[in-house]
Amino acid sequence: MIKNYLKIAIRQLRKQKMYAAIKIGGFALSIAACLLIALYIHNELSFDKHYPDGNNIYRIVGAYHVDGFDGKGVDWPAVMGRTVKADFPEVQNFGRLMPNSLFRGAGSNELKRADAVEDTHEEGFAYADQSLLDILKLPMVYGDRTHALAEPFTMVISKSKADKYFPGQNPVGKVMYLNNDKSKPYKIGGVMQDISKTTHLNYDFLLTLTGVQFWDGEQTTWGASNYSVYLLLKPGVDVKTLQKKISDGIIKNYYIPDMLKNGDKNASIIAGALKMYLQNIQNINLYSYDIHDGMQHGDIRFIWLFGAVAVFILFIACINFINLSTAKSANRAKEVGLRKVVGSQRSGLISQFLTESLLYSFFSFLVGLVLAAVLLPYFNTLASKSLAMPWLQWWFIPIILISAVLIGVLAGIYPAFYLSGFKPAEVLKGKLSIGSKSSVLRNGLVVFQFTTSIILIISTVVIYNQMQFILNKKVGFEKDQVVMIQGTNTLDNEVTSFKNELLKLSSVQSASISDFLPVSGTKRNGNEFHNEGKEKIEAGIGSQFWDVDADYIKTFGMKIIAGRNFDPSLKTDSQAVIINQSLAKKLNLTNPIGKRITNYGAPRLIIGMVQDFNFESLRDGIDPLVMHLSNSNSIVSVKIKSGNVENTLAQITKTWKNFSPNQPIRYTFMDERFASMYADVQRMGRIFTSFAILAICIACLGLFALAAFMAEQRSKEIGIRKVLGASVANITSLLSMNFIKLVLLAIVIASPVAWWAMNKWLQDFTYRITISWWMFTIAAVVAIVIALATVSYQSIKAAVMNPVKSLKAE
């Protein structure tokens, strides 16, 4: 019987080539999209799952609520880890990580072997405890993990970096220099296996924290927070109970006494403002979208979103299958009637139709797999991933087979029961209506298809406009025509001379030495400021504290709205500061010029105030900022004149070679760095655009086939209308309007859903567009035009047909 079912199924497939191609094509496109999304979701869910004790490894997160501001962070005092371990016996071990580029060595460095001449720029440096290696149980290629970071000035490097600098050698014990600093040689204590790409700890170089103290008292103070703290809990610990004990105990026994000792007025509110909790290491990638940890990670909301998109796209393809199967019912009605007359049972007919559905499903999966493999490189570019088809994984083929059966059954179950339910007496007497011209189910499914597509179109339009708004918004500084030359700290005392030589170039307008810049990937330094004399009266105000030079404000086109700029010739300016409007407002300084502020050091005189500018993502507001004259020299920013940019860059490169012949110049444009801050938004926009196009294509395939079928079933009606004088335009309009009504209904349903979803998405941005009526109009026009283009071909074809052909049998 199965062989007979297959023969009939293949015969039907050959007989109806266009409908079969649409069924398989739509299914294959949706299956390819679902496979790619499934690979993406699987990759995101696999992050940090490879640590042997992963279930018991947690990091400490702080959630704070102050003056209506909510935030989460992972920076803690150096003393936090050992205090928690000493006070809470549930904690087996702790390890600290310090990736903050504010501290020399973390972030990026110019690196070379002790016997090498040329420096090489490397990213991915972080300070770490020896105990962190023990907690994570990182596999080693060379060296003993238990002692790899036990000594001062040691570091662990990844295997790929060991192969790069010491090919074919065991580098343990070899010496390397960071930033050409020969006073602090780092000895390699071990080589670890390359850290998995599916981890939030994406570092190739771990520098030891043994013996490190960034300033006197830094390792014992509770007043400075720069370390992420990871805990290894003993098996069986109740995490919720422990995190409450840690939060209550640390705040009550350490934070409050230390703040009271220093006269900090925040001591009275910290118990209610700060809560500490534990986050399992396996949840960090997807559940840290609202945590400020300076790391790149995924977002569980995107996982749900992409998963929903995949289901909708697959559902649209299933709808095509159901629509076409039920619409073509009249073509199978006599077959069903005759088979029942000669003794076929309904169960046998259901099996026959399900076999056809399964055959379509298997063909679709084969084509879908090929499409997914072909489109994977494009999808990797789209999603910024390095995914690969898991052909050799034991689970891949079984999942594909099970999915093919499941989808085949789900898509075919309704048509199978519908077609097998025909009564032979009615069918053979010709009483069965030819097709279902006004099927509520079929119309509802078409509406659902276009509703999904229109939601995706509206979302794409909103995301695109938000991205354009961000990139073109006036942010309070000039980011265009600014070249950021990196790694200039290797010039040591010659950085100023290098800057002065650049200023001699006719194409250079201005230059500034500072690595505190209003774009991502540059230094940040949070401090607490008070009005002079009010340190023990008022709560401090959190603010950024940046090292800049006298040409900083000029180079970036910032506007001084009160006071003056720095003057290096005035010795008093070494203790002077320029603040932004946000800090003045927070400190209640209506006229800040001449006032003094302090951050637990000598009071600093305010000599100027700049207009607020956005120095973080436009998702956030503008935080308080203090700038002072100081040397932080790893980046020189150069404002160049418009014109021959290539010639200017060549001149800058030549000047660099005069100062550093053994180190290649590295530079980027500030506007490009600014745009990269919103790479995730751009990526989301591209993904939505791709899915919207795909959804429209699949929906239109089904619409095209339905239009062809309706034109076929109404051929006699059309012939009679033409004989009675109906024009081509009248008939085309008649056949098209039913579908256009369905699309209009889909627009009505999709618009409020899209508005709600996009309005919720925009809430993540402090600076955002307003969703306007024209965005919905664009989506509506696009949907209607596409639907018209899809059905018009079949409508016009039917309208121009000679009526003799359709009426000759009457």
- 209-256 pLDDT, tens digit per residue, is 999 999 999 999 998 999 999 999 999 999 999 999 999 999 999 999
- 612-671 pLDDT, tens digit per residue, is 999 988 888 899 999 999 989 899 999 999 888 999 999 999 999 999 988 889 999 999
State the average pLDDT over residues 547-563.
96
Between 294 and 594, residue with greater pLDDT: 594
Contact 653, 608 (CB under 8 A): no
Cα–Cα nearest to 203, from 128, 142, 146: 128
Cα–Cα nearest to 257, from 267, 248, 247: 267
b/e map 15-39, b = 16+ CB within 10 Å: ebeebbebbbbbbbbbbbbbbbbbb
pLDDT band at 438 (very low <50, low <70, confident <90, very high): very low
pLDDT of 332 > 70? The answer is no
Mean pLDDT over all residues of the chain? 87
Between 34 and 296, residue with greater pLDDT: 34
Q: Classify burial at 569, counting beta carbons within 10 Å of its beta carbon; exposed 0-12, middle 13-18, buried 19 or more.
A: exposed
- 522-545 pLDDT, tens digit per residue, is 999 989 899 998 877 887 888 999
Percent of the chain whose pLDDT exceeds 70: 92
pLDDT band at 810 (very low <50, low <70, confident <90, very high): low
- Give residues with Cβ within 8 angstroms of 106, minimum separation 6: 98, 99, 100, 125, 126, 127, 207
What percent of the residues of the chain are helix, what percent strand, and what percent coil, each to the nearest 5? 50, 15, 30
pLDDT band at 36 (very low <50, low <70, confident <90, very high): very high
pLDDT of 506 > 60? The answer is yes
Q: How far, in Å, CA of 43 to CA of 386, rounded?
A: 10
Token pair for 475: 């942010």
Give residue 435's pLDDT.
45
Rounded alpha-carbon distances, angstroms, from residue 517 to 117, 425, 523, 546: 30, 83, 7, 9
CA dihedral 487, 489, 493, 498 (to 10 degrees): 30
pLDDT of 324 > 80? The answer is no
- 19-32 pLDDT, tens digit per residue, is 778 788 888 988 99
Q: How far, in Å, CA of 307 to CA of 369, rounded?
A: 18
Q: pTM of the prediction?
A: 0.84
pLDDT band at 521 (very low <50, low <70, confident <90, very high): confident
Helices (H) then strands (E): counts for the chain: 24, 23
State the average pLDDT over residues 692-697.
83
Question: Which residues is 76 bridged to in the sheet?
Answer: 227
- Give residues with Cβ within 8 angstroms of 97, minimum separation 6: 126, 127, 128, 129, 132, 201, 227, 228, 230
Rg (CA), the chain: 34
HEC string for 716-769: HHHHHHHHCCCCHHHHHHHHHHHHHHHHHHHHHHHHHHHHHHHHHHHCCCCCCC
Angle at 761 between CA 757 and CA 765, to 5 degrees: 155
Q: How far, in Å, CA of 306 to CA of 514, rounded?
A: 41
State the average pLDDT over residues 306-325.
81
pLDDT of 432 > 70? The answer is no
Token pair for 410: 């789900």
Give residue 434's pLDDT.
45
Give residue 752's pLDDT.
95
Amino acid 71 reads: G
pLDDT of 751 > 90? The answer is yes
State the average pLDDT over residues 9-16.
69
Q: How far, in Å, CA of 144 to CA of 182, rounded?
A: 26
Go through the chain and tell me how many residues it has: 810
DSSP 317-373: HHHHHHHHHHHTHHHHHHHHHHHHHTT--HHHHHHHHHHHHHHHHHHHHHHHHHHHH
Between 438 and 490, residue with greater pLDDT: 490
β-pairing, 57-66 with 228-233?
A: antiparallel
Between 687 and 639, residue with greater pLDDT: 639
DSSP 14-41: HHTHHHHHHHHHHHHHHHHHHHHHHHHH
